[in-house]
A and B are shown apart, each in its own frame.
Chain A
Amino acid sequence: MNPDETTTTPEQSPGAPSPAVAPPPLTVSTAAAEASRDGVTAKAHSISLRKLNAFYGDTHAVRDVDLQYAANQVTAMIGPSGCGKSTLVRCINRMHEEIPGARSTGEILLDDLDLQGTGIDVVSVRRAIGMVFQKPNPFPTMSIYDNVAAGIRLSGTRGVNVKQRVEESLRGAGLWEEVKDRLGQPGIGLSGGQQQRLCIARTIAVEPEVILMDEPASALDPISTLKIEELVHELKKRYTIVIVTHNMQQAARVADTTAFMLNGELVEHAATDKIFSKPDDSRTEEYVTGKFG
């Protein structure tokens, strides 16, 4: 925080002769009150889903979901295979509509902006909402450096110090120390866990507001998984995060709130603590204790 700068007049000793000119008034100049912390604006972003429905052709994959993702929190989406959690998350950054025959209705609000409104450019939606996929997908023709810079270049963002952004992003993804000496090497030469962190670096290089993660650690070994989870804890200070996971222990370790979906419906959404100690809905109880699914 920048300290306030104040200018004051020196105390006048009682016996001193009064100056010829009246002392100037106290002035206080405030430093930027809106000081950004760590160079990142501290504005927090939430996502609200209202009456969200998603279809693949005639198949009704997501039914009437109302859900809030609070800012700077991690929300986990759990549920059995085919319950619609991945579909729902892909609606948020409008990747769902890339599939032929797929569509969605309802409102998806970033703060108070409807992302599905008319006139909204889907490309800018995706710049604001980043996504990390289940299988790490670094671009094979690019080096580590180029991979991280790809987001900046592909999205046509101008006026960015690319080198600096790349380093920041790699640090943010916890990968800098491991790759700083070989930035020119191909991205696909890294191990699975490193590749996934590379993809995370690539995602945050674009400085999105929200990060969606679709089972980010399910293809990784346990140690890489734990590293990714540690990363999520760090990242949530700056981003709002939604993480789809099959692994309930992961949801329990990582998420502030958890949403349970079944057959396209949202069954329960509560603090993770509550979901795993005393869920309200018996279906949630049955799922988390492993009695089905």
Chain B
Amino acid sequence: MTTLPAVSGRRRATDTAMRGITLVLTIVAIVPLVFILYYLIKEGIGAWSADFFTTDPTGRFLGNPGGIKSAIWGTIVMVALASAIAIPFGIGVALYLVEYGKGGWFANVVRYFIDVMTGVPSVVFGLFVYIVLVVTKIGGTFAAWKGAVALALLMLPVVTRSAEVVLNLVPNDLREGALALGAPRWRVVFRIVLPTAIPGLVTGSLLAVARAAGETAPLLFTAAFVFGTQFDVSQRMNSLPLQIFNDVSQAQDRLVQRAWGAALTLVLLVLLLSLIARLVQRRSRLA
């Protein structure tokens, strides 16, 4: 009868040890996240009510503090505006890097700068916009659109990076096939490359949007703070991160609780965007 050597006891032990160690590390990493979620829900769910979502913060120390309607709308408006700026530009840069400038020295320099920008702290973007746009009083002092610009600057490298990865994933033989049919390069890009890459581009953009929605520092000195809901982008606008920032430092408990509620809302918003991104990715043909 043919025999094969049996599994050595030592190897079995090593296997088990590895399994155990990685499991432990995973649990240790997950635990804080679980705690954060737990506290968020525990502290924040109490603040949620119909009023919470439909009334603006009143700013009154005594009496009804109001809800966070303006903050929610503010975040939506500013993030939407920032996306409208950052996504086209971000994808545009990625298109240049992948389709037109590939291998050239200029493309390499651009990529380097983009990499650097991903590491820049978000407060620096806020400061930059503050100095360039706010202090110089271009179009007024604080304004929502300036906040959007700061957010856009933050989003740009993220969008570009992910878009570049996705565009590189488009198989080159698709481009070759289209070129060989006698298509000018711009048509290859717009009719073949982009449609193929759309799912991945959407995912990357949604993740950038989710990040921007949660940033406080860029908005501090640009869009600033205001209580009421208003949609004029040339004026100050509220936002969820700022609302949280303000409320957390208050002495009143119910304001602090409102902050928790806002935080929970923000996290849920980000969660929702990430979920959509994942759904889109699952249906993608490139993933």
Contact = CB atoms under 8 A, between A and B. Distances in A.
Report if A and B touch in the complex (beta carbons < 8 A): yes
Contact of A95 (B176, B183, B195): B176
B173 interface: yes
Interface in A113-152: 123-128, 130-131, 133, 135, 137, 139-141, 150-151
5 contacts: A95-B179, A125-B182, A133-B173, A135-B173, A139-B196
Interface string B35-62: 0000000000000000000000000000
B116 to A, nearest CB: 25
A206 interface: yes
A127 B103 contact: no
Given A133-B173, A137-B173, A126 B180 contact: yes
A202 interface: yes
Contact of B184 (A123, A153, A188, A206): A123
A98 B285 CA distance: 26
A160 interface: no
Interface in A163-221: 188, 199, 202-203, 206
Interface of A: 93, 95, 98, 100-101, 123-128, 130-131, 133, 135, 137, 139-141, 150-151, 153-156, 188, 199, 202-203, 206
Interface in B188-231: 188, 191-192, 195-196
A152 to B, nearest CB: 9
Contacts, number: 73
Contacts of B177: 133, 137, 139, 199, 202
A199 B177 CA distance: 9
User: Interface residue tally of chain B, by bracket?
Assistant: 20 to 34
Given A126-B181, A133-B173, A154-B191, 15 more contacts: A95-B180, A98-B179, A101-B103, A123-B182, A126-B179, A133-B180, A137-B174, A139-B178, A140-B174, A141-B196, A150-B191, A153-B191, A154-B182, A155-B182, A156-B184
A146 to B, nearest CB: 10
Nearest to A205: B181
B240 to A, nearest CB: 37
Contacts of B192: 139, 141, 154
A124 B195 contact: no
Contact of B180 (A130, A140, A188): A130
A155 B103 CA distance: 27
